[in-house]
Amino acid sequence: MMDIRFGTDGWRGRIAEDYTFENVRRCAQGFASYLEAHGRGRADVVVGHDRRFGSRHFAIAAAEVMAANGYRVWLTQGATPTPVISYSIVEREAVGGINITASHNPPWDNGFKVRDEHGAAVDPEGLREIEAAIPPIDGVRRVDFEEAQKQGHIQVWDPAPAYVAHIGKLVDIERIKAAGLHILVEPMWGNGIGWFPRLLQGGSTHVTEIHNVPNPLFPEMGRPEPIPPNIDVALRKAVDLGVDVCVIMDGDADRMGIGDENGRFVNQLQVYALLAYYLLEVRGERGPIVKTLSTTSMLEKLGEMYGVPVYQTGVGFKYVGPKMLETNAMIGGEESGGYAFRGSVPERDGILGNLYFLDLVVRTGRTPSQLLAHLYDKLGASYYYDRVDTRFPSEKRPEAKARLDAARPQRLAGLQVTDVVTMDGYKYVLEDGGWLLVRFSGTEPIVRVYCETTDESKVKPLLEEGLRMAGLT
């Protein structure tokens, strides 16, 4: 029997190797037992999925288990963006949800995500409880899908109309439709297909969508992650078409990316700072900002300027979501391009985030490159960021961790280290306000090395220092 472990955002595995129907059913049984142990038995749950190999069938397998445990299951009628699934949990007044998706992972993977009654990621303690409740396969309850439908225990429905009505209350979609923009949409063959043409049709704004048929092999990209080189085709297309902005969603549409009017990528840290600026300056909102320790220090500067607190968490929305609920945060986000907003669910939303960015462009009359220049002028400095992911055998993790535990650098790439944060990995805060972070991925056998600095010439040397400390060079 395989020992299933939940990482940063649920469990992911290789299809047919460890990600099997038996193991999906075991996970669903563990989730059902966890909910019942917390007094949430015999209630409604939502089950949804993405467009990967077998996802619909894996979702049905999970629904059969939840129905057998006395839950009424709301199963999405087809592949559905993760933010729509998360909102549906709240809209249906469900006690939780299951989402079959591997998000931005390579095509051979699939995943099993769980959500709480707020549509948010289950906190780390809850994930540990679910893991502990996962039984052997002979401990799984299961009913036949068609029989459960006949008895009303599984309801298949379309969650889109309620979500569309919801986001229409948060952003003026009609203003974007009437702005006369030319927008390139890159849904990366995934769950975001068709959403922006649907939302923005009927006005003077023109939408061109690429990679807009389901393809679980994700051609022309290594994986459906909204960063280069996966978006290089989209950025070249943006230049060819002369668009005003390129909006990008990852495979399950909970993360976002932006390409500017010149076909240049606006990185995830820049986007987060621009979205925070939009809420604070353009919309006049006030409230806490929640950020993972792997994202931009521009947020602290904005927090000081506008008098709002900034809270730092470990990596993953299992930390960000609960902190947003605790503090009634205005925005929460992470380095991977996932952002959540007050007024919606405390979960990443690539659809709403992109709409907010489009609204920022329309309301300021600035292009994406002009917006970034304006932000840097306001902050008094430019910020430079990069990340290196290095695969390595899992058995070498203890050795790498021991090296990092022993490292006590006083300077990195010539910059003085002013603080070391070990909340999640090893973050070295630098004298220029930048930082270097070395951490192990919670979902893959990867060491990630990230940095942000106000001196562009320091980016490469800082990343090399991180790799050296981990013993990877």
- With cut-offs at 50, 70 and 90, classify the pLDDT of residue 7: confident
What pLDDT is recorded for position 145? 98
pLDDT of residue 56: 98
Q: How far is residue 84's CA from residue 160's CA, in Å, rounded to a whole number?
A: 7
Q: Give the model's pLDDT for residue 473.
A: 80
Q: Is the pLDDT of residue 348 over 80?
A: yes
Interior/surface letters 18-28, b for 16+ CB within 10 angstroms, e for the rest = ebbeebbbbbb
Whether 433 contacts 464, CB under 8 Å: no
Placement of tokens 């939502």 in the chain: 46
- Please give the average per-residue pLDDT across 127-138, as a whole number: 96
- What's the pLDDT score for residue 10? 87
DSSP strand pairing (97-100 vs 109-115): antiparallel
Please tell me the predicted confidence (pLDDT) of residue 365. Answer: 98
pLDDT given at position 170: 98
Give the pLDDT band of residue 8 (cuts 50, 70, 90): confident
Share of the chain above pLDDT 90, in %: 92
Residue 168's pLDDT is 98
Residue 397: count of CB within 10 angstroms of its CB: 14
Partnered with residue 416 across adjacent β-strands are 411
Q: What integer is the mean pLDDT of 216-224?
A: 97
Q: Using CA atoms, how far apart are residues 100 and 251, in angstroms rounded to an integer?
A: 12
pLDDT for 212 equals 97
Which tokens hold the place of 306? 């506008």
CA dist 47 and 27 (Å) reads: 13
Band of residue 417 on the pLDDT scale cut at 50, 70, 90: very high
Beta bridge partners of 15: 19
pLDDT tier at 392, thresholds 50, 70, 90: confident
Q: What percent of the chain has pLDDT over 70?
A: 100
Q: E strands of 40-189, at which residues?
A: 44-49, 72-76, 97-100, 109-115, 154-157, 182-186
What pLDDT does residue 394 have? 80
Buried b (16+ CB within 10 A) or exposed e, 180-209: ebebbbbbbbbbbbebbeebbeebebbbbb
pLDDT at residue number 444: 75
How large is the average pLDDT for residues 457-464? 97
Residue 40 confidence (pLDDT): 96
Residues 146-196: tens digit of each pLDDT = 999 999 999 999 999 999 999 999 999 999 999 999 999 999 999 999 999
Q: What are 262-293's pLDDT values in tens digits?
A: 999 999 999 999 999 999 999 999 999 999 99
For 421, counting Cβ atoms within 10 Å of its Cβ (0-12 exposed, 13-18 middle, 19+ buried), the class is: middle
Residue pLDDT, tens place only, 427-450:
999 999 899 999 988 767 889 999
pLDDT digits (tens, 9 = 90+) for 19-75: 999 999 999 999 999 999 999 999 999 999 999 999 999 999 999 999 999 999 999
How far apart, in whole angstroms, are the C-alpha atoms of residue 215 and residue 50?
A: 11
pLDDT value for 472: 85
- pLDDT tens across 354-389, in order? 999 999 999 999 999 999 999 999 999 999 999 999
Residue 244's pLDDT is what? 98
Per-residue pLDDT, 149: 98
Sign of the torsion formed by the C-alpha atoms of 364, 274, 124 and 227: positive
* pLDDT tens, residue by residue, 98-108: 999 999 999 99
Whole-number pLDDT of residue 260: 98
**DSSP for residue 122:** P
| pLDDT band per the 50, 70, 90 thresholds, residue 218 | very high
Render pLDDT for 174-188 as a digit per residue (tens, 0 to 9).
999 999 999 999 999
Q: What domains can be seen in the chain, in order of their start residue?
A: 11-163 (3.40.120.10), 170-264 (3.40.120.10), 384-469 (3.30.310.50)
Q: How is residue 63 written in tokens? A: 């629904």
Confidence of residue 332 (pLDDT cuts 50, 70, 90): very high
Cα(first)–Cα(last) distance of the chain, in Å? 37
- In this prediction, residues 2-24 reach a mean pLDDT of 92
Question: Which tokens sit at 451?
Answer: 């940095």
Torsion of CA 85, 89, 91, 95, to 10 degrees: 170
